[in-house]
C-alpha cells in the first residue's frame, strides 16, 4: 500500500483515538473568515440607490453602492408562496459570473405579488400580503426589516455587517498594462458588448485592459495576506479569482433560542460564539470528532430556525462554499437596531439573537421563512428543497454492520446467529474490504467468490444487504470504472487542467465530477445488474468518504482550486456528497426500471439531501457522551428536513462496555435509522457475544423496534408528504412551553410517542419532562398514567426504556415479531388507544406494498382511527386509493378506560357481533381480543 495511506492507517489504528484539531482550520487560520470577522458592527458602507428601484408584479430590484469603493451590487427581493421572502445580492457587473447553487431547489420557487405601500427619500415600504406583513427597505445605510403589525420579525444588515468582496484583477497583473498603448476603439466596443464571450487570443490583451480599468476605478482596498494565495500546513491554495467572500447579518428581536445548521456534535440549542470560533459548515472527514464545539463535520445544511413562544422563523442561506456562522445574544435596546425597536415597541429590554453568515464565494441568496408555527417553517423549507424520501419499509428495521465481515462464510455465520438467538434484522452490511482491492462495483474474488449465491441466501430469508460504493476511484488501467471515467473526461481537474488525484483507501485515486449530469447518468448506469456483476435486487448502497475525503489533501479534503468545468471546487464543495447520493439513488431506481424505491446511506450531505436517502452521524466513539450527543445531532438534522438519521450503535471507535452497548441498542431502537457498526480494529460485538442476560436485553430492544414498524412507517409517509420531522424536539409540538426549548435528552417520534433513553452510566433513574398542562401520558410498558406539565422521576433497571404514549392518540403495532420486517408483512395489528379528557382520540394506519413507487399511483391504504363517545371507528382517508391487505386487527388495547357491559363490532357489510374483552381495573386497561376485521375495511366498535 502507498506510504501515505499506510501512515494514515497507522494514525487511525494507533493508541490515540481522538481528533487532531491541528488538521482543521480555525477561523483565524481561514483568511476570509478572519478578514470578515475583523469587521465590527457599525454603520454600513452600503446604501440603497432608490432611484434605481424597479418593481414588477413579482420582483423588486434595487442597486446598492459601497461608498468606500464605489462597487455596485444588485439587490433582488421576492415574495414567495407560503410566507417566504427571498433576498438575493450579487455584483451588478462582476468581472465573471459568480456561482449560484443549482439542483438544490426542487423548482424555481413560485412568487406572489409585491405591492408598494409608501416611498420617500429614506426608503420604501412593500406589502408582503397576509396579516399586515411588510418589508421596509431603508436607504442610508441599507437595511431591510420584515415586520408584522408593530412587531419586527427580522432585520438584515441592522448591524452593518453586509460585506461583498467583488471580483477584481490582481494588481500586479494589470499595473504593467494600464499605461501601455491603448487598444483600438473597435476592440473596446467589442469588449463592452461581449465581455463574457470567449475571445480569440488576439483579444486577450483588450480584455485584460478593460478589466484593469474597471478594477483601477473601484479597487483601492488594502491587499491583505490570504486574499490571493493562502497556505495551511503544507498546502497552498492558489485563489486565482482572489477574495470573493460574502457576508450578511440578521437580527432576531425577541428570540433567545436558535437551532439547526447541522452538522455539529453539539447541543440542540445553538450557543453564542462571541468568545470562540463561529460554527463552521464545511464537509470534512473528521477522525473521531470532538464533542461540544463548533467544528465542521461531514455534512452541512445552512438552515437555522429561531423560536420563541410567539413565533418560529427560519433562515436558509443557499451557498455551497465554506461557511461560518456567528451567533450573538443581546438585548435589542442596547444595539443600534434596538433604537428602532424602542420606538416601535416601546421597550428597551427585548431579548435578541444576532446571526452573521460568512461564505467564501458565491452570492448572497437567502430564504426567510416566516412561519409562524414550527410546522409552517417545515412546510416552507420542504417547498424549497423537497421532503424526506419515502424509504422502503425494510430499511426502518435493524441493520447489522462492521468494518468488515470477512467473507461469505462470515456473512452466513452472522446471519445464522440472529436466527439462533431469535433477534430480527433486515440488512447486513459490507464495508470496503469486500471489494477487489478497493475497486468499487467489484468483489474480492477469493472472499466473495459467489456474491449472488450469498445474496440469494439472504433473499430466501427475506433479508437484504448493503455494500459500500465510495466516490474515490482507484487509478488503475486494469480497472473498468477508472478507464471509463478517464476516457469520458469525467474526473475533476486540478488547477493545471489534468485529472485531479489524491490519496484515499485504494491509494492513488481520481474523483468523478458528480456536478455533471452526464457523469451522474453514467454513474447511475453502473448499478445495472449487467454492469455491477454479482449484484441483485436485494443489494443496496452506502456512500462513504464523499465529503470528499482526500487523505493527503488540505484538511483531509479536496484542494479548493480544483476545477469542475468552469467552477472552482471552493464554490460548490458542500454539495459534492449531495450529488454522489443523488446519482447513486438514481442508479438503484433505474436498475429496477423505475419501480423500486432505493435505499442509500450517505455520510456527506447538504440541503436537499433528504430527497435521496439516509444519513448517519459518522465516526463516533464507544463513549457515553457520544451516545448522549446522538440525540441532539439527529434532532438538528430533522429540523432541517433530514429525518432519516441515526448513529453507529455501540460507537464506531473503541469498545463499549456491556452496559453502554445495551443502552445504545435501547436508544438506537427509537431513532429513525437503526444500525450497529464498528471499526476494523475493534473486537466483534454481535448482540449475542455478551452473555445470555445481555443478549436478552438487546433482543427486547430490537423487538420493540419491530413492533412499532407500522408507526415508524406511517411517520415517514407523513414526513414524505409534508416535510414534518419524524424525530422531533418537544418544542415543535409544545411551542409555547419554555421548559421544552432546551431539552435534548428526550424527544418525540411523531407527536404521540415520547422517548427518554437512559444515557448515563450506572443510572438508577431518569427525570423525564412530560409536556402539556392538559395532557396525560401512558407508560407504554406498564400502562401507568401520568399527568403532563411535570418532571417525572422514573426508576430504571437495565431493561428500562422510558417511552410514553400521549393520551388522545391511537398507535398501531404488530406484536408478532419475526426474523425480518418482510416476514411480518401480512401479520395482524394491535391498536393501542390512549384516552384523555378530550372528546376524540385520533390515530392513523398507513399500508402499502412497502417497497415500490406504486403509492404514487394511489396504491395504498390510509385510514383515520378515532375514538369518541365510546365508539372506535376506522374511516378511509383515501377513498380513491386502490390496495388490499391480508392483515387484520387482532387486538385493541384501550388505556385509561372504564369497564363496559358489552362491546359490539359493526363490520363494513353492516353485520354486528359481540367482541370478547378483558378489563384490568387496577390499571384501567381494556383489552378487546380477536375482533378480526380487515385492516383496510370500514368498521366501528361500540363500548356500552
Positions marked catalytic: 544, 619
State how far the Cα of 635 lies from the Cα of 650, in Å rounded to an integer.
19
Cβ contact 402:652 at 8 Å: no
- Rounded to whole angstroms, how far apart are CA atoms 704 and 666? 9
- SS3 for 847-906, per residue? ECCCCEHHHHHCCCEEEEEEEECCEEEEEECCCCCCCCCCCEEEEEEEECCCCCCCEEEE
Tell me if 515 sits within 8 A of 579, measured CB to CB: yes
Which residues are CB-contacts of 693 (< 8 A; sequence separation ≥ 6)?
none
* DSSP code, position 28: G
Determine the 3-state secondary structure of 493 from DSSP: strand
Helix (H, G, I), strand (E, B), or coil: what is residue 201?
Answer: helix
Cα(674)–Cα(662) distance, integer angstroms:
14
Give the Å distances, CA to CA, from 317 to 87, 369, 661, 754, 845: 10, 11, 39, 32, 37
Q: Are 366 and 162 in contact (CB under 8 A)?
A: no
C-alpha cell at 536: 441483485
Which residues are CB-contacts of 704 (< 8 A; sequence separation ≥ 6)? Answer: 669, 670, 801
Strands 246-253 and 151-156 turn out to be antiparallel
| CB environment 147-167: b (16+ within 10 A), e (fewer) | bbeebbbbbbbbbbbbbbbbb
- What cell numbers appear for 162 in the block? 453586509
Take residue 305 and report the three cell numbers written for it: 430556525
CA distance 177 to 210: 10
DSSP code string of 139-181: TTTTEEEEEETTEEEEEESTTS--EE------HHHHTTTTTSP
DSSP string, 210-260: HHHHHHHHH--PPP-TTSS-EEETTEEE--TT----EEEEEEEET--EEEE
Count Cβ atoms below 10 Å from residue 722 Cβ, excluding itself: 14
- Burial, 54: exposed, middle or buried (Cβ in 10 Å; 0-12, 13-18, 19+)? exposed
Q: Are the C-beta atoms of 352 and 333 separated by less than 8 Å?
A: no
Calculate the alpha carbon distances from 371 to 78, 219, 247, 496 in Å: 17, 41, 24, 48
d(CA 588, CA 527): 6
Task: Give the cell for residue 444.
Answer: 474480492
Q: Which residues pair with 769 in a beta bridge?
A: 791
Amino acid at each position: 500500500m502507498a506510504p501515505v495511506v499506510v501512515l494514515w492507517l497507522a494514525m487511525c489504528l494507533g493508541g490515540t483515538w481522538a481528533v487532531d484539531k491541528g488538521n482543521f482550520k480555525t477561523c483565524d487560520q481561514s483568511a476570509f473568515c478572519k478578514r470578515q470577522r475583523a469587521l465590527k458592527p457599525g454603520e454600513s458602507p452600503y446604501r440603497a440607490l432608490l432611484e434605481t428601484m424597479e418593481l414588477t408584479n413579482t420582483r423588486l430590484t434595487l442597486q446598492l453602492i459601497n461608498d468606500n469603493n464605489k462597487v455596485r451590487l444588485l439587490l433582488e427581493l421576492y415574495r414567495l408562496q407560503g410566507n417566504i421572502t427571498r433576498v438575493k445580492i450579487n455584483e451588478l457587473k462582476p468581472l465573471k459570473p459568480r456561482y449560484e447553487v443549482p439542483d438544490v431547489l426542487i423548482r424555481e420557487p413560485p412568487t406572489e405579488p409585491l405591492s408598494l405601500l409608501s416611498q420617500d427619500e429614506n426608503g420604501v415600504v412593500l406589502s408582503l400580503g397576509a396579516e399586515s406583513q411588510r418589508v421596509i427597505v431603508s436607504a442610508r445605510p441599507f437595511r431591510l426589516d420584515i415586520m408584522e403589525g408593530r412587531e419586527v420579525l427580522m432585520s438584515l444588515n441592522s448591524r452593518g455587517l453586509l460585506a461583498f468582496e467583488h471580483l477584481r484583477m490582481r494588481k500586479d497583473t494589470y499595473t504593467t498594462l494600464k499605461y501601455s498603448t491603448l487598444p483600438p476603439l473597435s476592440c473596446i466596443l467589442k469588449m463592452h458588448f461581449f465581455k463574457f464571450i470567449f475571445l480569440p487570443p488576439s483579444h486577450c490583451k483588450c480584455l485584460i485592459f478593460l478589466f484593469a480599468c474597471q478594477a483601477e476605478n473601484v479597487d483601492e482596498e488594502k491587499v491583505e495576506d490570504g486574499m490571493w494565495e493562502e497556505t495551511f500546513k503544507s498546502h497552498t491554495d492558489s485563489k486565482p479569482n482572489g477574495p470573493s467572500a460574502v457576508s450578511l447579518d440578521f437580527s432576531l428581536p425577541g428570540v433567545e433560542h436558535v437551532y439547526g445548521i447541522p452538522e455539529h456534535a453539539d447541543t440542540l440549542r445553538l450557543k453564542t460564539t462571541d468568545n470562540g470560533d463561529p460554527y463552521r459548515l464545511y464537509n470534512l472527514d473528521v477522525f473521531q470528532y470532538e464533542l461540544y464545539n463548533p467544528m465542521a463535520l461531514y455534512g452541512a445544511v445552512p438552515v437555522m430556525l429561531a423560536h420563541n413562544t410567539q413565533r418560529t422563523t427560519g433562515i436558509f442561506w443557499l451557498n455551497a462554499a465554506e461557511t461560518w456562522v456567528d451567533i450573538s445574544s443581546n438585548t435589542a435596546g442596547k444595539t443600534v437596531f434596538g433604537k428602532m425597536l424602542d420606538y416601535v415597541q416601546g421597550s428597551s429590554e427585548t431579548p435578541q439573537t444576532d446571526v452573521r453568515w460568512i461564505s467564501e464565494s458565491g452570492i448572497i441568496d437567502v430564504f426567510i421563512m416566516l412561519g409562524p408555527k414550527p410546522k409552517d417553517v417545515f412546510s416552507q423549507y420542504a417547498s424549497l428543497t423537497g421532503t424526506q424520501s419515502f424509504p422502503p419499509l425494510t430499511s426502518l428495521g435493524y441493520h447489522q454492520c462492521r468494518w468488515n465481515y470477512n467473507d461469505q462464510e462470515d456473512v452466513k455465520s452472522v446471519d445464522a446467529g440472529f436466527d439462533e438467538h431469535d433477534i430480527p434484522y433486515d440488512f447486513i452490511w459490507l464495508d470496503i474490504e469486500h471489494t477487489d482491492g478497493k475497486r468499487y462495483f467489484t468483489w474480492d474474488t477469493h472472499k466473495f467468490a459467489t456474491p449472488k449465491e450469498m445474496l440469494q441466501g439472504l433473499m430466501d430469508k427475506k433479508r437484504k444487504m448493503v455494500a459500500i460504493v465510495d466516490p474515490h476511484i482507484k487509478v488503475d488501467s486494469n480497472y473498468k470504472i477508472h478507464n471509463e471515467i478517464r476516457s469520458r473526461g469525467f474526473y475533476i481537474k486540478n488547477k493545471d487542467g489534468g485529472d485531479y488525484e489524491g490519496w484515499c483507501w485504494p491509494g492513488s485515486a481520481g474523483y468523478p465530477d458528480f456536478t455533471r449530469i452526464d457523469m451522474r447518468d453514467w454513474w447511475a448506469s453502473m448499478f445495472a445488474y449487467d454492469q455491477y456483476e454479482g449484484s441483485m435486487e436485494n443489494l443496496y448502497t452506502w456512500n462513504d468518504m464523499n465529503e470528499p475525503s482526500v487523505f493527503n489533501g488540505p484538511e483531509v479534503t479536496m484542494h479548493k482550486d480544483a476545477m469542475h468545468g468552469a467552477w472552482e471546487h471552493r464554490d460548490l464543495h458542500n454539495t459534492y456528497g449531495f450529488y454522489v447520493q443523488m446519482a447513486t439513488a438514481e442508479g438503484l431506481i433505474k436498475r429496477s426500471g423505475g419501480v423500486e424505491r432505493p435505499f442509500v446511506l450517505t455520510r456527506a450531505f447538504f440541503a436537499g439531501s433528504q430527497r435521496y436517502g439516509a444519513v448517519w452521524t459518522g465516526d463516533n466513539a464507544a463513549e457515553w457522551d457520544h451516545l448522549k450527543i446522538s440525540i441532539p445531532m439527529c434532532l438538528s438534522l430533522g429540523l432541517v428536513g433530514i429525518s432519516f438519521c441515526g448513529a453507529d450503535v455501540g460507537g464506531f471507535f473503541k469498545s463499549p462496555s456491556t452496559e453502554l452497548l445495551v443502552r445504545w441498542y435501547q436508544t438506537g431502537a427509537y431513532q429513525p435509522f437503526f444500525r450497529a457498526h464498528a471499526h476494523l480494529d475493534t473486537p466483534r460485538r454481535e448482540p449475542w457475544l455478551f452473555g445470555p442476560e445481555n443478549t436478552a436485553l438487546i433482543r427486547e430492544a430490537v423487538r420493540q423496534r419491530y413492533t412499532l414498524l407500522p408507526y415508524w412507517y406511517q411517520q415517514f409517509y407523513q414526513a414524505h408528504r409534508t416535510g414534518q420531522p419524524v424525530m422531533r424536539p418537544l418544542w415543535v409540538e409544545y411551542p409555547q412551553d419554555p421548559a421544552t426549548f432546551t431539552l435534548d435528552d428526550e424527544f418525540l417520534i411523531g407527536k404521540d410517542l415520547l422517548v427518554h433513553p437512559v444515557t448515563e452510566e450506572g443510572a438508577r433513574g431518569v427525570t423525564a419532562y412530560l409536556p402539556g398542562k392538559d395532557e396525560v401520558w401512558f407508560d407504554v410498558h406498564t400502562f401507568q398514567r401520568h399527568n403532563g406539565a411535570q418532571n417525572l422521576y422514573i426508576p430504571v433497571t437495565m431493561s428500562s426504556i422510558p417511552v410514553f404514549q400521549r393520551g388522545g392518540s391511537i398507535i398501531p403495532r404488530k406484536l408478532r415479531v419475526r426474523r425480518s420486517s418482510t416476514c411480518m408483512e401480512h401479520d395482524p395489528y394491535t391498536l393501542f388507544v390512549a384516552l384523555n379528557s378530550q372528546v376524540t382520540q385520533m390515530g392513523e394506519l398507513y399500508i402499502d406494498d412497502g417497497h415500490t413507487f406504486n403509492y404514487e399511483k394511489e396504491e395504498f391504504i390510509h385510514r383515520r382511527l378515532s375514538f369518541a363517545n365510546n365508539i372506535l371507528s376506522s374511516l378511509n382517508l383515501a377513498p380513491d386509493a386502490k390496495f388490499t391487505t391480508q392483515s387484520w386487527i387482532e387486538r385493541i388495547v384501550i388505556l385509561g378506560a372504564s369497564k363496559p357491559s358489552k362491546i359490539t363490532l359493526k363490520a363494513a357489510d353492516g353485520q354486528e357481533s359481540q367482541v370478547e374483552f378483558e378489563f384490568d381495573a387496577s390499571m384501567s386497561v381494556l383489552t378487546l381480543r380477536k375482533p378480526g376485521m380487515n385492516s383496510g375495511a370500514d368498521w366501528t366498535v361500540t363500548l356500552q
